Amino acid sequence: MAHATVTDLEAWLAPEPVPDTAARLLAQASRRVDRALHGAYYDITDPDVVDALREATVCQVHWMIDRDDETDATADLQSMSTGIRAFTRRTVGAGAGATPQLAPAALDILVTCGLFRFDPLVVG
């Protein structure tokens, strides 16, 4: 189930138009947000949590649209140029070759609202 609606996405992207694939993008973005929060605990009925999930989801869709790569098909490219845009991946150092699947701004939303936290479970 998507954390945001097409109407939410329209409000986020305004004045830019919503793509025809908005419902699919929202479902994909919701899965990415859910994966980032896998193992976290939170109350899905809390209005603040619902708002944070909605905002992170539309932010994720915006990022996916800007990257023009809904499926991560270009995630393993070293370098690519299309018209006036050129993309090159860092090949050395920490995180070399790693392509993020969650928008940095979406992660910021989840962290600052307190959803992206993991308290240690101590057994024994």
10 Å CB burial of residue 54 (0-12, 13-18, 19+) is buried
Q: What is the DSSP string of 46-115?
A: -HHHHHHHHHHHHHHHHHHHHHT-TT-TTTT-SEEEETTEEEE---SSTTTT---SS-HHHHHHHHHTT-
pTM of the model: 0.76
Q: Where is pLDDT greater, at 23 or 83?
A: 23
**What is the reported pLDDT for 45?**
93
User: What pLDDT, in 10s, does the model give residues 38-89?
Assistant: 888 889 899 999 999 999 999 999 999 988 877 766 665 556 677 787 767 6
